[in-house]
């Protein structure tokens, strides 16, 4: 496509399953509204599915102005080719300047296909999105109002800002929980744009007959207190210290990627860029060094307590309170103190 449209809308892909909007779609509505207001344009939502028109009302309340609805029995269950074809055709017709997707398993499947079909650039797993100007170092040309797609790079050693000055629309995926869900505005309205798109037979060669969903073991996003353990705990058996402290505080258990990769705990508990982003009232980081990939998933916590034997650990740079010492001594003492306080 590569068609530049400075007045194009800011779109989200309104991901839904069984007629229910996914949390990440509603979170993206708030960020899309912010970006669109900066650009002075409207917010749009691409909504493919079957019998999903009722979801438009919710999207309007969360800040969307126009819902582009494609209602087709072939879209009842997500399969890659029909959805990618439909979203591509919507983008081709309405030329949004920005399109945002959730970095879910569905979004990770869909977004690269659409980016390839439209010949657009796309940045995965962004931790922030902003609008700004960029000056080309070689040509000195100024590109105005570009989407700054911000994410850790090179193993987390730097924070990279990625731009697409020539390839439009500008696309990005964002993990669930990275942006807070904004409060809805009851009775807010918008326009439903109904589109009939004939899906070619070659896009319908795969049919989803049955779907199995494994329930999450833990709800980290909804927890007011999270106690997370890292590689510093040393073993799966030692991770019991994290469960003990979390139980005493009435909180949920989390983990760093290093702890998950080490086999200490299941991936459902992972916090960070490649796990769940959280904003609890209290986050206790135990034996977590604080690599940027972990910090971007928990640094918005209201209060952060870090426990680590290394006084130079990066986690202390964002902690409100730091404890330097041996986890095997400190964590049992904390657990005991909390339980005694609760028993009073």
pLDDT in tens, 265-315: 999 999 998 889 999 999 999 999 999 889 989 999 999 999 999 999 999
The model's confidence at residue 3, banded by pLDDT at 50, 70 and 90, is low
Show the CA angle centred on residue 147, arms to residues 144 and 152, nearest 5°.
130
Helical residues (DSSP H) of 152-239, grouped into ranges: none
The model's confidence at residue 337, banded by pLDDT at 50, 70 and 90, is very high
Helix (H) or strand (E) holding 255: strand 252-255
**pLDDT score of 273:** 84
pLDDT at 2 over 80: no
The model's confidence at residue 264, banded by pLDDT at 50, 70 and 90, is very high
CB atoms within 10 A of CB 107: 23
Residue 3: is it exposed, middle or buried by C-beta count within 10 angstroms (0-12/13-18/19+)?
middle
Residue 141: is it exposed, middle or buried by C-beta count within 10 angstroms (0-12/13-18/19+)?
exposed
pLDDT tens digits, 139-176: 888 889 999 999 888 766 778 899 988 888 999 999 88
pLDDT tens digits, 167-212: 889 999 998 888 989 999 999 999 999 999 999 999 988 887 777 7
pLDDT tens digits, 64-81: 999 999 999 999 999 999
Q: Are 42 and 66 in contact (CB under 8 A)?
A: yes
The DSSP symbol for 103 reads -
Stated pTM of the model: 0.83
**pLDDT score of 131:** 96
**pLDDT score of 211:** 76
What is the SS3 assignment for 155?
A: coil
Helical residues (DSSP H) of 192-298, grouped into ranges: 240-249, 257-261, 292-295
The count of C-alpha atoms lying within 13 angstroms of the C-alpha of 36, restricted to the half-sphere facing its C-beta, is: 24
**pLDDT score of 315:** 96
Closest among 174, 193, 146 to 35, alpha carbons compared: 146
pLDDT tens digits, 207-250: 877 777 777 777 888 899 999 999 999 999 999 999 999 999 99
Higher pLDDT, 54 or 2: 54
Higher pLDDT, 274 or 44: 44
Going through 89-166 in order, the beta strands assigned E by DSSP cover: 98-102, 122-126, 128-135, 142-153, 158-162
Distance CA 23, CA 26 (A): 5
**pLDDT score of 342:** 72
Q: Are 224 and 280 in contact (CB under 8 A)?
A: yes
Six token digits for residue 132: 């700004």
Distance CA 309, CA 241 (A): 16
User: Quick one: what percent of the chain has pLDDT higher than 70?
Assistant: 97
Helix axes 327-343, 240-249, angle to 10 degrees: 20
Q: Are 48 and 87 in contact (CB under 8 A)?
A: yes
Six token digits for residue 170: 């500008």
Q: Are 232 and 308 in contact (CB under 8 A)?
A: yes
Q: Between the CA of residue 117 and those of 33, 68, 187, what are the distances in Å?
A: 26, 19, 37
DSSP states of 306-320: EEES-TT-GGGGT-S
The count of C-alpha atoms lying within 13 angstroms of the C-alpha of 35, restricted to the half-sphere facing its C-beta, is: 33
CB atoms within 10 A of CB 262: 17
């Amino acid at each position: 496509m590569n068609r530049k449209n400075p007045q194009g809308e800011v779109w989200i892909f309104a991901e839904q399953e069984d007629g229910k909007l996914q949390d990440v779609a509603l979170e993206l509505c708030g960020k899309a509204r912010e970006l669109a207001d900066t650009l002075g344009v409207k917010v749009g939502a691409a909504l493919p599915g079957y019998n999903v028109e009722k979801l438009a009302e919710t999207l309007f309340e969360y800040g969307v102005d126009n819902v582009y609805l494609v209602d087709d029995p072939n879209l009842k269950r997500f399969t890659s080719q029909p959805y990618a074809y439909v979203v591509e055709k919507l983008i081709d017709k309405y030329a949004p300047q920005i399109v945002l997707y959730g970095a879910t398993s569905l979004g990770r499947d869909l977004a690269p296909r659409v980016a390839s079909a439209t010949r657009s650039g796309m940045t995965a797993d962004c931790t922030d999105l902003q609008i700004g100007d960029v000056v080309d170092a070689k040509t000195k040309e100024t590109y105005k109002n570009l989407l700054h797609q911000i994410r850790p790079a090179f193993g987390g050693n730097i924070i990279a800002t990625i731009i697409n000055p020539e390839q439009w629309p500008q696309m990005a995926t964002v993990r669930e929980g990275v942006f807070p869900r904004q409060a809805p505005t009851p009775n807010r309205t918008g326009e439903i744009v109904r589109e009939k798109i004939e899906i070619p037979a070659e896009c319908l060669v795969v049919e989803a007959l049955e779907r199995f969903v494994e329930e999450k073991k833990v709800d980290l996003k909804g927890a007011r207190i999270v106690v997370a353990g890292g590689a510093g705990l040393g073993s799966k058996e030692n991770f019991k210290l994290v469960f003990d402290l979390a139980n005493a505080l009435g909180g949920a258990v989390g983990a760093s990627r290093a702890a998950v990769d080490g086999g200490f705990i299941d991936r459902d508990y992972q916090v960070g860029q490649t796990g769940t982003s959280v904003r609890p009232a209290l986050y206790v980081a135990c034996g977590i060094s604080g690599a940027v990939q972990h910090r971007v998933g928990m640094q918005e916590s209201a209060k952060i307590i870090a426990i680590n034997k290394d006084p130079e650990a990066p986690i202390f740079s964002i902690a409100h309170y730091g404890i330097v010492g041996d986890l095997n001594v400190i964590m049992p003492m904390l657990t005991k103190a909390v339980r005694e306080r609760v028993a009073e």
